[in-house]
């Protein structure tokens, strides 16, 4: 049966990402601009800064893997990220400024860690849904959802989406089913009439299954991060890319 709503992950579904090895160096450059001489005055030299920046995102990635187990998973706020993972051992005198610039710092980390390119067939998929008045929403874990919004705007496809739901903005992370429930509510379609599409079993298929989506669709992504453990979750449909998803959707009209 054709879905009445489509909910898409961002990374791995709309975009394919490749890792930037020097991202932490670029983030350190920006932090030096934000803090000026304050870092050196507190004994934080360039080497220490680079180590702390890299450690922050690496440790949070490990936390995110663990959060794929509970039914309900709370996401970190930007302030928690910078105070507890980036500046945990920084002098207390720097904490107010860290908190003040938390949104900016998380935006920098999210934007600089990866290069993103649109996956094949994305525009055609969105056009097909638009022609049939099928609302499309994004439901995605994110360190900074604003990075995703800006990418969609720059790519010229932002207008196709009825709603965008990002974990850092609503405070819960997939596979917490509440993220999909929020997405369905915001596009105005009952969750059981929506298909949810993602690139991982543990974050996406499990989330769609928990949420009671009409179908949980797996779209494996090239260069996807490997997970440290398996989960018991089975997709209803597996496709290679957005072009493949479009072909499956067309078949539902026959």
Structural domain boundaries of the chain? 5-17+117-252, 19-114
Q: How far apart are CA 177 and CA 110, in angstroms?
A: 23
Residue 254's pLDDT band, with cuts at 50, 70 and 90, is confident
Q: How far apart are CA 230 and CA 65, in angstroms?
A: 11
pLDDT tens digits for 207-240?
Answer: 999 999 999 999 998 877 778 888 899 999 999 9
pLDDT tens digits for 25-81?
Answer: 999 999 999 999 999 999 999 999 999 999 999 999 999 999 999 999 999 999 999
Q: Which tokens hold the place of 185?
A: 């509510």
Pairing status of strand 136-140 against strand 163-166: parallel
Per CATH, domain 5-17+117-252 is 3.40.50.1000: yes
Closest Cα to residue 89, out of 113, 56, 67?
56
pLDDT of residue 168: 98
User: Can you state the angle between helices 46-66 and 102-112, rounded to 10 degrees?
Assistant: 80
What are residue 128's phi and psi, to 5 degrees?
-60, -45
């Amino acid at each position: 049966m054709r879905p009445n709503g489509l909910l898409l992950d961002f990374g791995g579904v709309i975009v394919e990402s490749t890792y930037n090895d020097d991202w932490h160096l670029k983030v350190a450059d920006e932090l030096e601009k934000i803090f000026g001489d304050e870092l050196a005055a507190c004994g934080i030299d360039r080497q220490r800064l680079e180590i702390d920046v890299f450690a922050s995102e690496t440790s949070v990635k490990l936390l995110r893997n663990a959060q794929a187990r509970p039914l309900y998973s709370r996401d970190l706020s930007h302030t928690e990220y910078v105070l507890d993972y980036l500046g945990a051992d920084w002098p207390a005198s720097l904490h107010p400024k860290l908190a003040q610039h938390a949104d900016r710092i998380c935006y920098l980390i999210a934007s600089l860690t990866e290069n993103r390119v649109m996956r094949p067939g994305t525009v055609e998929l969105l056009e097909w849904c638009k022609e049939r008045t099928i609302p499309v929403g994004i439901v995605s874990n994110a360190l900074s959802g604003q990075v995703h919004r800006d990418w969609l705007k720059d790519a010229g496809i932002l207008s196709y989406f009825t709603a965008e739901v990002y974990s850092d903005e609503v405070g819960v992370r997939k596979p917490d089913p509440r993220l999909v429930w929020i997405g369905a509510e915001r596009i105005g379609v009952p969750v059981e009439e929506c298909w949810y599409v993602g690139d991982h079993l543990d974050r996406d298929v499990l989330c769609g299954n928990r949420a009671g989506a009409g179908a949980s669709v797996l779209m494996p992504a090239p260069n996807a991060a490997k997970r440290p453990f398996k989960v018991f979750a089975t997709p209803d449909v597996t496709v290679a890319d957005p072009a493949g998803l479009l072909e499956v959707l067309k078949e539902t009209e026959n």
